[in-house]
Structure 1
Amino acid sequence: MKNYNYYMTGAITLGFSTAIISLLARWITANTILSSPEALIKYGLVGSIGYSFMGAVALLLFGFISLRIRTSYPDLRTIGDLFQVRLYKDGYYVLSFIVLFLGLDSLFMQAIGASVLFELLLGVPVWISLLFFFMYTFLLAGVGGMKWIHRLEGPALIFIFSAIIFIPMFFFIGEGATNIYQGIRLLHPYLLFTNNQEAFYFTATAMLIGFGQMLSDRATWQRLYMIDLKKVRISFYLTALVWSTIPLALGGMLMIVIYDHSFTETYSLLFELVKKIKPLLLSVIFFLFCFSTISSTMNAELHATTVHFVRNIRQKIRPDMSDKQLHKASYQFSGVILLVLLILSLFYNFDALQFLFFFGTLYAALVPVILIIVLSKRKISRLLPYSAPIAAIIVHISPIAEGPLSTIWWSFIISLGISFGSMLFAKRELFSD
Structure 2
Amino acid sequence: MIKKNYSVYILGTIQLGIGFGIVTLLSRWVTGNTILSSPEALIKYGILGGLGYSLMGAFAFILFGFIATYIRKRYPKHQTIGDLLKEKTNPFGYWYTILLLLITGMDSMFVQATGAAILFSLIFPVPIYISLFFFFSFCFIIAGLGGVQRIHQFAGISITFIFAAIILIPVYFYIQNGVYPVYEGVQLYHPYLLFWKNIDTFFFVITGIFIGFGQVLIDRATWQRVYMLKQSRIRTIFTLTGLIWATIPLSLSSLLLVVVYSGSFQDVKILLFQLVYNINSSFLIAIFLLFCFSAISSTLNAELHATTVFTVKNAISELIPLSDQHKWHLSFWITGMQCLFLYLVVIIISPTFIELLFFFGSIYAALISPILWMIFSRDRLSSFVPSTSAIAIFLSILSSSSTGHLGAIWVSFITSTFLCACFMLFRFLSIFRVEKRKRLL
TM-score normalized by the length of structure 2: 0.94
State the 1:379 CA deviation. Answer: 4.5
- Residue in 1 aligned with 2:435? none
Task: Quote the Cα distance in structure 2 between the aligned partners of 1:298 and 1:399.
Answer: 29
- Deviation per CA, 1:121-142: give whole Å up to 9, x if none: 2222111111000001001101
Match of 1:301 in 2: 303
The residue matched to 1:35 in structure 2 has which SS? helix
How far apart are the structure 2 equivalents of 1:134 and 1:268?
Answer: 21
* Equivalent pair of 2:161/2:290 in contact (CA under 8 Å): yes
Counterpart of 1:273 in structure 2 is: 275
Quote the residue 2:54 is aligned against: 52
1:156-185 CA deviation, whole Å, 9 max, x = no partner? 000000000000000000001111112112
Per the alignment, residue 403 of structure 2 pairs with 402
Distance apart, 1:423 and its partner CA: 2.2
One-letter amino acid of the structure 1 residue matched with residue 376 of structure 2: L
C-alpha contact (below 8 Å) 1:88/1:382 kept by paired residues: yes
The answer (yes or no) to whether the contact 1:380–1:426 under 8 Å persists in 2 is no
Q: 1:368 maps to which residue?
A: 369
Alpha-carbon distance between aligned partners in 1 of 2:407 and 2:312, rounded to the nearest angstrom: 36
Paired residues, number: 427
Of the three residues 128, 132, 150, the one matched with 2:130 is 128
CA-CA distance at 1:103 after TM superposition = 0.8
Counterpart position of 2:342: 341
- Give the aligned residue type for 1:288: L
Change (3 A) 1:186 1:302: same
Secondary structure at 1:350 match in 2: coil
- Retained in 1: the 8 A contact 2:166–2:252? yes
Question: What code does the residue aligned with 1:226 have?
Answer: M
Distance of 1:119 and 1:421 partners within structure 2: 51
1:357 equivalenced with 2:358 (yes/no): yes
Structure 1 contact 378–426 (Cα < 8 Å) conserved: no
Query: 1:381 touches 1:426 (CA, 8 Å); kept in 2?
Result: no
Letter in 2 for 1:94: Y
Please, which runs of 5 or more residues in structure 2 have no aligned partner?
432-441
CA contact (8 A) 2:32 2:296 kept: yes
Report the Cα distance in structure 2 between the residues aligned to 1:252 and 1:261, rounded to whole angstroms.
16
Distance 1:246 1:85 in 2: 37
User: How far 1:411 sits from its partner (Å)?
Assistant: 0.7
CA gap of 1:357–1:50, structure 2 versus 1, over 3 A, is same
Distance in 1, matches of 2:107 and 2:120, equals 20
Distance of 1:419 and 1:203 partners within structure 2: 25
Task: Flag as ranges the 4+ runs of structure 1 deviating above 3 A.
Answer: 397-401, 425-428
Structure 1: gaps of 5 or more residues: 429-433
Partners in 2 of 1:425 and 1:75 — Cα distance?
A: 32
Give the AA of the match of 1:244: A
Q: Which residue of 2 is the match for residue 387 of structure 1?
A: 388
1:13 Cα offset (Å):
0.8
* CA distance in 2: counterparts of 1:376 and 1:392, whole angstroms: 23
Cα distance in structure 2, aligned partners of 1:399 and 1:346: 28
State the alpha-carbon separation in 2 of the partners of residues 268 and 68 from structure 1.
41
1:247 aligns with 2:249: yes
Query: CA separation of 1:69/1:278 partners in 2, compared to 1, >3 Å: closer, same or farther?
Result: same
Confirm whether residue 315 of structure 1 aligns to residue 317 of structure 2.
Answer: yes
Which of 217, 220, 242 lines up with 2:219 in the alignment?
217
Aligned residues: percent identity? 46
Compared CA separation, residues 122 and 400, structure 1 to 2 (3 A): closer
Of the structure 1 ranges 217-226 and 251-260, higher mean CA displacement relative to structure 2 is found in: 251-260
1:400 CA drift (Å)? 8.3
Find the residue that maps to 1:244 and give its secondary structure: helix
Equivalent residue, structure 2, for 1:330: 331
Question: Structure 1: which amino acid aligns with 2:300?
Answer: M
Is contact 2:400–2:408 with CA below 8 Å preserved after alignment? no
Q: State the AA in 2 paired with 1:82.
A: L
Answer yes or no: is 1:187 the counterpart of 2:189: yes
Q: Which has the larger displacement, 104-113 or 119-128?
A: 119-128
User: For residues 12 and 392 of structure 1, do their structure 2 counterparts lie closer, same or farther at Cα, with a shift above 3 Å needed?
Assistant: same
Instruction: Give the equivalent residue in structure 1 for 2:436.
Output: none
Contact 1:66/1:233 (<8 A) preserved: yes
Aligned partners of 2:87 and 2:380 also within 8 Å: no
Match of 1:70 in 2: 72
Instruction: Report how far residue 19 of structure 1 moved.
Output: 0.5
Matched to 1:219, the amino acid is A
Q: Distance in 1 between matches of 2:177 and 2:121?
A: 28
* Offset from partner CA, 1:324-382 (integer Å, 9 cap, x none): 21111111111111101000111110100001111111111001111111123454233
Alignment of 1:21-170 (within 5 A): 21-170=23-172
Q: Cα offset for 1:51?
A: 0.7
Amino acid at match of 1:410: V
Note the C-alpha offset of 1:187. Answer: 1.6
Q: Which moved more, 1:84-93 or 1:39-48?
A: 84-93
Q: Is the 8 A contact 2:269 2:352 kept in 1?
A: no
